[in-house]
Copies of this chain bind each other. A is one copy, B any other.
Amino acid sequence: MARFVVIGQTATASADFSLEDLAGSSGRLDVLLRCVRAALLYSHGVRRDVTVYLVLLAGPDAPRVLRFDGASAKYVRPDERPLATLAKKALGAERPVGARGFVERRHGIAVADGGLDAVVADLGPGRAFLLDESGDDIRGIADADLAGDPVFFIGDHLGFSATTRERVLALGGRSIAVGPESLHSDDVVTLVTNELDRRRPRGAPAAGL
């Protein structure tokens, strides 16, 4: 199972953004939602073996994390507005008193209080990778290192803060790159996913099939 953790330095953790001006009113939550599409959806439907964490670090309710589980996700569509509507409903729901960790709000969509700590507590074992232009080329990473339950940490339109970078490297994260250019976060997700698809033994179906 692959996990993607996208860190939104300016992305709102509240539901008070406008669907008519998503990018302008949500602190670029649109960047993160496009990563959900890239990670979870392909022509045959939902990739059941993928989980995406969106770390929302801005606004009065921050930090919070939105988690999309491919295994149980329903109603995840590729276009931005319905995805933003799902996020808005999940973020706007009242949190049960005394709830700890991730609370499911919609099929496969859960919310937790906290930032990177909440993600790390939920992740369990798996090699960590930090996506970074100056890292080692992902095409050169050994199959064994990408196998299992890898976790890929990806920055937003601003990249990573120094604190986040140090935190991920302290988790044993290895810096890897997907190519020579600095790309949008969702393109990075697509390129990592393609590399995992290519490493899967021939004849083994994707878990979504």
Interface centre among A38, A43, A179 (most CB of B within 10 A): A43
CA distance A200 to B179 in the complex (A): 11
Q: Is A1 an interface residue (CB 8 A)?
A: no
Q: How large is the interface on A (under 10, 10 to 19, 20 to 34, 35 or more residues)?
A: 35 or more
Which among B31, B80, B178 is the interface contact of A194 at CB below 8 angstroms? B178
CA distance A11 to B163 in the complex (A): 45
A12-64 residues at the B interface, CB under 8 angstroms: 20-23, 30-31, 34, 37-38, 41-44
**Given that A79-B23, A79-B30 are contacting pairs, would A194 and B197 also be in contact in the complex, using a CB cutoff of 8 Å?**
no
Q: Is A164 an interface residue (CB 8 A)?
A: no
CA distance A77 to B191 in the complex (A): 21
Q: Is the CB of B79 within 8 A of A43?
A: no
Which among B77, B81, B190, B198 is the interface contact of A20 at CB below 8 angstroms? B81
Which among B23, B180, B191 is the interface contact of A200 at CB below 8 angstroms? B180
Q: Is the CB of A187 within 8 A of B190?
A: yes
Which among B42, B190, B197 is the interface contact of A190 at CB below 8 angstroms? B190
Q: Is A94 an interface residue (CB 8 A)?
A: no
A157 contacts across to B, CB distance below 8 A: 43
CB distance from A33 to the nearest CB of B (A): 9
CB distance from A68 to the nearest CB of B (A): 16
A44 contacts across to B, CB distance below 8 A: 181-182
CB distance from A38 to the nearest CB of B (A): 7
A194 contacts across to B, CB distance below 8 A: 178-179, 183, 187, 191
Q: Is the CB of A184 within 8 A of B30?
A: no
A20 contacts across to B, CB distance below 8 A: 81
Q: Is the CB of A43 within 8 A of B206?
A: no
A169-185 residues at the B interface, CB under 8 angstroms: 178-184
Residue of B nearest to A206 (CB): B181
Residues of A within 8 A of B (CB): 20-23, 30-31, 34, 37-38, 41-44, 77-82, 157, 178-184, 187, 190-191, 193-194, 197-198, 200, 202, 206
